[in-house]
Structure 1
Amino acid sequence: MVNSTVAFIGLLWYGIIWSICLLGCCAARKRYRLRPRSPLASAPSSQAPGVSVLRPLKGLDANLYENLESSFTQEYSNFELLLCVDGDHDQALPVVEELLRKYPHVNARVVISNEDVGVNPKVNNLIQAYREAAHDILWVLDSNITVDPGTLARSVDALNKPVSPGKKRIGLVHHVPFAFSNQSTLGARLEEAFLNTNHAKMYIAINTVAVDSCVMGKSNLYRRSELELVNGHLKRRRDPHEDNERGFGLAAFGRFLAEDNMIAAALWHELDLRHDLSCDVAQNAIGSMSFSDYIWRRVRWIRVRKIMSLAATLVEPFTECIIVSLIAVTCLRALFGRVAFLILPIHYVLWIWVDLDVYESLAGYPLLPSKRLAFLSAWIMREFLALPIWILAMLGNTVSWRGKRYRIFRSGEVGNAENGKPLSQWFRFGRRATMEREEARQELLSAQPLT
């Protein structure tokens, strides 16, 4: 009876995971295969809500000219473009200046800022432009993202969508990343296979169910007036709202590494607003990514999620293709014997078909025959790497980003980390509460006067 009960629970889980996969696939078909032109694309500036587009820049990202040019060519009559760098000698400036000369009719300018409001370099980069922005609606768009000309208009439509009875107002519009790379490095192929299939499928499914905030900040649209009311405390706002000496607005999120996710969560939990996915994608230019780069990028964000949402991170391996198939086979074998192994080829063929269908929905076209073999090879390798990467991520509590190492704390905040072995840091994480109490006791004793 115990074995049968466990087997039925395992099969129930298998069914739940397949339901999520199919939901992501169907939602992708419905949302991304038709991208209608917005009326705002041809509206005069007096009728189009003003938008300030903020693009943080640091060096020469892959496809930088085309990425930035896609902001200049938006079919929208009332926007300004603020291109943010942290110094006069940034390598991105010549590219920016060339585009400013090419599109003199666009209201665009460079904002140079190196103000230190936290450990997050992206927030430090954006803070001056955030304050100088002329409009309340902000579109924060990473430098490695290209967007279609109609993206801004459709995104403003989604942000200003009329509220239906029983529904919550939209406070943030975001776009699912769709990766592309002109350089056929192993890491780039793995990143494409991950972002364009498994990640997109789960991301779309979770945002379709919309039981909680789930946002990746490659391309986010929200209102500054609402961001000024939150600070990442993630408790329902009450007036007057306690700021805990953190302040409000963008600067308050400089203490987080995943500021995009925290801003979205703050709007959701503190103001009771909801998010919406536009029917556009954020075309993510990967560039030359090595195998090691891919692994440590995945490790970094798993470690961030581990601290911010431990339960979901612990469950993550049991949503992956290979582990789920082994669960199904084990449970079916307990119930029906060796015939259970017949499910494996069916499982893998259907899983690949669903992932490729998601890819086609996001891309707007099927996977090209010339890329099919390389893409499927990378897809298979990505599936086999998923569990080892997760284990590696769970054995540490520091991350490296833009040449610096950070320690992540339980609040989601980060601080500069000293060099150390990730495994020892993992054990320290388990004893952190005890250590903090002991440190406080020692400080109290040292503060007492000698007699």
Structure 2
Amino acid sequence: MVDSEDEDGAGSSTLPLILAITSLVWYFIILSMGLLGCWTARKRYRLRPRSPLASADPASIPGVSILRPLKGLDANLYENLESTFTQEYSNYEIFLSVESEHDQALPVVKELIAKYPHVKAHMVIGAENVGSNPKVNNLIRAYRQATYDILWVLDSNVMVDRGTLARSVDVLDGPQTAAAPSGRRRIALVHHVPFAFATEQTLGSHIEQAFLNTNHAKMYLAINTVAIDSCVVGKSNLYRKSDLERVDGTLKPVTPTSGDRSQQRGLAAFGRFLAEDNMIASALWKELDLRHELSCDVARNAVGSMSLADYFWRRVRWIRVRKHMVFAATLVEPFTESVVAGVLASLGLRYLLGLPPWLFIPLHFLTWLSIDLDVYASLAAHPIPSGATFWKFLGAWSLREGMALPIWLYAIWGSTVDWRGKTYVVMRNGEVKRASRDARGWFRRIFGTKERGQEYEPLELAQD
């Protein structure tokens, strides 16, 4: 007969063993994801061949309407916009949209239109209120005026390589468009991983740059390689207007018997979401059962002046948005970060093998950093220069890794976000409404942050 005390003792000794094994299994899963992202970056971005479409006759290639929403003088605005005027593609038009005729971006737009008279470029002045999202309100008129079915939507702080459009159309409209013999789904959206460059020497800008070019990029690439669900950042996306006109953001599959859905469709249907880009991608994936693909180009993201508080609130905003869209993924997010994953793995190794944490932890962070540096080099097409530039990056990377858990802990318990000087409440599926009072909490009251009323902060759902 087994004594109950023996049973309790066996149970208490089994639990730490299970936790130790679980922590190590989880660690190797996350490490494998990082290695997959690193391998994908090497394979995809270290060679960017010229597309045959770059020199094709205009009549032989699909037309593309480029939509760029603008507000104020964003960092690097002239060069960002000019990169769309110089695309190696002979059949496209550009729509540059502003809300007001007094917008500071208009002189830049007019100068570029005069500089490139051969490019079909249009200024669109005046927004139309179709929802809470000002980016959608800004774009809706250009969306309706677009000549071509293929749309390329780029945020105002994004610069692209001359061959980006041609290579992206290759992916979107190439042989992959038709269903493959294996039954693989048609590509409905082509997106580009962000690659940040800081235009100002501020702490928040360097942390944002380090984050986007390493941890964010490797996980973004890994998730899209596995491709079990939609994961899209909206800095630079190509999709078809005809596909967008079939979806409404409910994420319910479109069937032959669902034609009577009363929900508005097309771009206007996504004006109720804060992260309209991610919702558009999810709708194409889930409502039409189509898939996404990355091209071999990056969306070069100009990061302007960003304080530490700006960085904090940017991360808080998107954690709270994701929480209402992908709750389970947001809940486990801290366990994917280097600090939490490393600490748990070190405890597991100490319990199972007696390995002291002081021996494992340095090796862990060195491995993590090496993977991130390799991802950075693949996206940039060169390693980080040695000297002061490297040490600045290392400091920013270390701060980002150390801040990830505190930011998550603050963000996960709230549902209000501050955006362009206004406070919103994030609701189910990422829809938003204006908050009735300022509920921004102790961090804002102590540290504050500058208003961005004269700047356009592009919407994105970074897998931050």
TM-score tier by shorter-chain length is over 0.9
Give how far 1:342 is off.
1.6
Give how far 1:109 is off.
1.1
Give how far 1:422 is off.
5.3
Give how far 1:419 is off.
1.7
CA distance in 1 between counterparts of 2:439 and 2:351 reads: 42
Q: Pick the aligned partner of 2:346 from 324, 329, 332.
A: 329
Give the match's secondary structure for 1:411: helix
User: CA, structure 1 residues 409+242, in 2 after alignment: closer, same or farther (shift >3 Å)?
Assistant: farther
Say yes or no: does 1:293 pair with 2:310: yes
Counterpart of 1:193 in structure 2 is 210
CA distance in 2 between counterparts of 1:54 and 1:30 reads: 30
CA distance in 1 between counterparts of 2:267 and 2:439 reads: 33
Which one is further off, 155-164 or 220-229?
Answer: 155-164
Give the match's secondary structure for 1:268: helix
Write the deviation string for residues 210-259 of structure 1: whole angstroms up to 9, x where unpaired. 00000000000000000000011101101343675431000000000000
Say yes or no: does 1:126 pair with 2:133: no
Give the match's secondary structure for 1:84: strand
Q: Pick the aligned partner of 2:416 from 398, 402, 415.
A: 398
Say yes or no: does 1:25 pair with 2:41: no
Counterpart of 1:53 in structure 2 is 66
Say yes or no: does 1:89 pair with 2:102: yes
Say yes or no: does 1:165 pair with 2:165: no
CA distance in 1 between counterparts of 2:333 and 2:381 reads: 29
Say yes or no: does 1:211 pair with 2:228: yes
Q: Say whether the 8 Å CA contact 2:75–2:199 is kept in structure 1.
A: no
Give how far 1:345 is off.
1.3
Counterpart of 2:125 in structure 1 is 112
The residue type equivalent to 2:353 in the other structure is F
Write the deviation string for residues 257-302 of structure 1: whole angstroms up to 9, x where unpaired. 0000000000000000000011000000011111111110010000
The residue type equivalent to 1:200 in the other structure is A
Summarize the alignment of residues 8-407 of structure 1 with structure 2, pairs less than 5 Å apart.
8-163=21-176, 164-166=180-182, 167-241=184-258, 245-369=262-386, 370-407=388-425
Q: Say whether the 8 Å CA contact 1:33–1:362 is kept in structure 2.
A: yes
Give the match's secondary structure for 2:268: helix
The answer for unaligned runs of 5 or more in structure 1 is 425-451
CA distance in 1 between counterparts of 2:204 and 2:21 reads: 38
Write the deviation string for residues 401-424 of structure 1: whole angstroms up to 9, x where unpaired. 122211111132111112243579
CA distance in 1 between counterparts of 2:199 and 2:133 reads: 29
Say yes or no: does 1:414 pair with 2:432: yes
CA distance in 2 between counterparts of 1:107 and 1:380 reads: 46
Give how far 1:321 is off.
0.5
The residue type equivalent to 1:154 in the other structure is R
The answer for unaligned runs of 5 or more in structure 2 is 1-13, 443-464
The number of aligned residues is: 424
Q: Say whether the 8 Å CA contact 1:397–1:422 is kept in structure 2.
A: no
Give the match's secondary structure for 1:46: helix
Counterpart of 2:453 in structure 1 is none
The residue type equivalent to 1:48 in the other structure is I
Counterpart of 2:459 in structure 1 is none
User: CA, structure 1 residues 189+211, in 2 after alignment: closer, same or farther (shift >3 Å)?
Assistant: same
Write the deviation string for residues 341-377 of structure 1: whole angstroms up to 9, x where unpaired. 4211111111100000000000011101241000000
Which one is further off, 244-253 or 43-52?
Answer: 244-253
Give the match's secondary structure for 1:238: coil
**Given the two structures, how large is their TM-score scaled by the length of structure 2?**
0.89
CA distance in 2 between counterparts of 1:246 and 1:403 reads: 30
Which one is further off, 297-306 or 240-249?
Answer: 240-249
Give the match's secondary structure for 2:418: strand
The residue type equivalent to 2:110 in the other structure is E
Give the match's secondary structure for 1:308: coil
Give the structure, 1 or 2, with the largest relative contact order (CA under 8 Å, sep 6 or more): 2
User: CA, structure 1 residues 83+317, in 2 after alignment: closer, same or farther (shift >3 Å)?
Assistant: same
Which one is further off, 156-165 or 198-207?
Answer: 156-165
User: CA, structure 1 residues 339+291, in 2 after alignment: closer, same or farther (shift >3 Å)?
Assistant: closer
CA distance in 2 between counterparts of 1:413 and 1:117 reads: 13
CA distance in 1 between counterparts of 2:195 and 2:234 reads: 13
Give how far 1:340 is off.
4.8
Q: Say whether the 8 Å CA contact 1:395–1:423 is kept in structure 2.
A: no
The residue type equivalent to 2:41 in the other structure is A
